[in-house]
Homo-oligomer: A and B are copies of this chain.
Amino acid sequence: MPLPQSPTLDATFAALSDATRRAIIARLATGDATVLELAAPFEMSLPAISKHLKVLERAGLITRGRDAQRRPCSLRAAALEDVAAWAEHTRRVWEARFDRLDTYLRELQADEHEPPPTTDHDNERGHHGRKRKKS
């Protein structure tokens, strides 16, 4: 199964490898916000927050408005969806593996507990038996 191997996905995962940046993304998921609004819940300087925003912007996770004074930040859902899609796809491949294993084990159990059904092999033996009785 093909998986996206884009360098963008590299940058997206790297950007999300920081708890503060994930918290910023979680905040922006509820609505756009300015740098000041984003800085409020963190005990961080504005330059420190701005640095995090630049990482998120370069990774395609946020966009920033053109209003020079406010420059509100918006979440870019497409990048977030790429991450979710990758994790979901890989999880499904993993689960499918156990479904196959489960089916196999159930087939094995059924073979152990149920009386063996009449097979072509049994018929063949019966046939030979009758043959032997006759002669």
Count residues of A near B (Cβ-Cβ below 8 Å).
36
Asked if A86 is an interface residue, CB under 8 A from chain B, the answer is: yes
B11 pairs with A17, CB closer than 8 A = yes
This protein's copies in its complex: 2
A22 pairs with B86, CB closer than 8 A = yes
Q: How far is the CB of A34 from chain B (nearest CB, A)?
A: 17
Q: Which residues of A in the span 55-80 have a Cβ within 8 Å of any Cβ on B?
A: 75, 77, 80
A30 pairs with B97, CB closer than 8 A = yes
> Majority SS of interface residues in chain A?
helix
B29 pairs with A5, CB closer than 8 A = no
Say whether, besides A13-B13, A17-B17, A19-B9, A84 and B93 are in contact (CB < 8 Å).
no
Q: How far is the CB of A40 from chain B (nearest CB, A)?
A: 17
The CA-CA distance from A36 to B81 in the complex, in Å, is 33
Interface residues of A (CB under 8 A from B): 1, 3, 5-7, 9-14, 16-19, 22-23, 25-26, 29-31, 75, 77, 80-81, 83-84, 86-88, 90-91, 93-94, 97
